[in-house]
Structure 1
């Protein structure tokens, strides 16, 4: 009987623990654990899609370590997986070239980029600029590359500074990613006075808004613990018992703030997306108006404008 599925699940659990805010493990610990477990798993792992994701993770870990030989070994492991055949050879060769370039081996990167170019001469020029700019220098007839121009006068921003949140979550950066949403949930809506009112309200009431979010989360947390049903072994890591809102500081982190284009009293509804230890896939989302919590749910709760519109129509 194959042991691959069970071992891949072990690796998945380890990766989830590694991503926790209170994690004390090192990159070296991660690499050692996965290498050991991968060796234990039989060849059925090459037909389990999550194993393909893990192979990609290990490739990136060895890029980080600047370990070219082991990076190449994991690229070969990825090629053995059934999922690798989903991409055309020129796509796989581009990816290998990018990995080699990131790992510092320009000669090998150029070799793969030429293989990609010969299979599809346009593909590389649709990918990462640092790759096609490097490759273009080596072409006998380099292409003329156009640079996208940005208007410095454009009314645009992509983050909000919340120092009080930074202090609570013990984050390195006080700036949180921000997006302005139109009514149909598209980004890059033109910033209006109402949007600016919402940003100003949030900055002036940082602790008030955060406490409202966490107090509402604390109310539903026990029921969520039952729903997720972590074992006694895993519960302390992923979903420990919480008695006070400060206990969430190690379990969740703010990722993105969505300023919607649904307004009430001149203030927009604002969504907040958090990562959370108990659901790394779906995350945690809140829709708010000022410091009132409209709804709690998965990540999409933070940016589904119909939630805000429905609430606004009720009031």
Structure 2
């Protein structure tokens, strides 16, 4: 992949400065996650100290580029680790979701079935986005998934130094930082 060209084609969030002191650069990438080919939105979040600085941001920082390229280089190894970690997390929370779906009169096995192997989750899990902030002190990124058991919040995986650091609902994971 020609990352240099891809970086130059990222779209800048037009209204970023009005909402925060960060600029979001967005693009789409093909991701091959454990046998699934997915198009994911990639967001690079870059801090800006002024509106002028925000408008001048055209590409991710060198550190963000390095993290992204390292992630993509080791994706197949990292993805198998992520899937195993998601499976471990899922087995610890499945009862909570089964109880909720039961109380709503929903089919438990459709949304939160018992699974024995990590690969069984692949039909219930879809990568949707990746976030890389320039504010992190260590090499880290966040992968967000849609999933059958939490259709509202999805699943977030915090990766630090190319290892799974934490797993939680996608929208609540960022509150930990």
Contact 2:132 2:140 in 1 (8 A): yes
Quote the offset at 1:298 in angstroms.
Answer: 1.0
Please, what is the CA RMSD of the aligned residues? 3.0
Aligned position for 1:298: 169
Contact 1:272 1:287 (C-alpha < 8 Å) held by counterparts = yes
1:192 aligns with 61
Shift of 1:233: 6.7
CA pair 252-282 structure 1, distance change in 2 beyond 3 A: same
Distance 1:260 1:305 in 2: 14
By percentage of residues, which structure has more strand?
Answer: 2
Contact 1:161 1:203 in 2 (8 A): no
Could you say which structure has the greater relative contact order, defined with CA pairs below 8 angstroms and 6 or more residues apart?
Answer: 2
> Is the alpha carbon distance of 1:155 and 1:293 closer, same or farther for their aligned partners in structure 2, counting shifts above 3 Å?
same
* Partners of 1:288 and 1:189 in 2: CA distance: 25
Structure 1 residue 278: Cα displacement: 1.0
| Corresponding residue SS for 2:88 | helix
Which consecutive segments of 4 or more residues in structure 1 shift more than 4 A?
none
Structure 1 residue 192 displacement after superposition: 1.4
Distance in 2 separating the partners of 1:306 and 1:222: 22
1:183–1:305 CA contact under 8 A, matched in 2: no
TM-score under structure 1 normalisation? 0.41
Q: Would you say the 8 A contact 1:214–1:245 is kept in 2?
A: yes
In structure 2, stretches of 5+ residues that fail to align are 11-26, 49-53
Which residue in the other structure is 2:45 paired with? 181
Distance 1:275 1:198 in 2: 23
Matched, 1:168 2:32: no
Q: 1:119-158 counterparts in 2 under 5 A?
A: 155-157=8-10, 158=27
SS in 2 for 1:282: coil
Q: Which of 206, 211, 221 is equivalent to 2:75?
A: 206
* Counterpart contact for 1:286–1:296, Cα < 8 Å: yes
Q: CA 1:183 to 1:292, structure 2 compared with 1: closer, same or farther past 3 Å?
A: farther
Contact persistence 2:144–2:154 (CA under 8 A): yes
Report if the CA contact (8 A) 1:212-1:291 is conserved: no
Contact 1:252/1:274 (<8 A) preserved? yes
- For these two proteins, the number of residue pairs brought into alignment is 145
Residues 1:196 and 1:305: Cα distance change in structure 2 (over 3 Å): farther
The Cα shift of 1:196 comes to 1.1
**Unaligned 5+ residue runs, structure 1?**
1-151, 308-315
1:159 corresponds to which residue?
28
Asked if the contact 2:142–2:157 (Cα under 8 Å) also holds between the matched residues in 1, the reply is yes
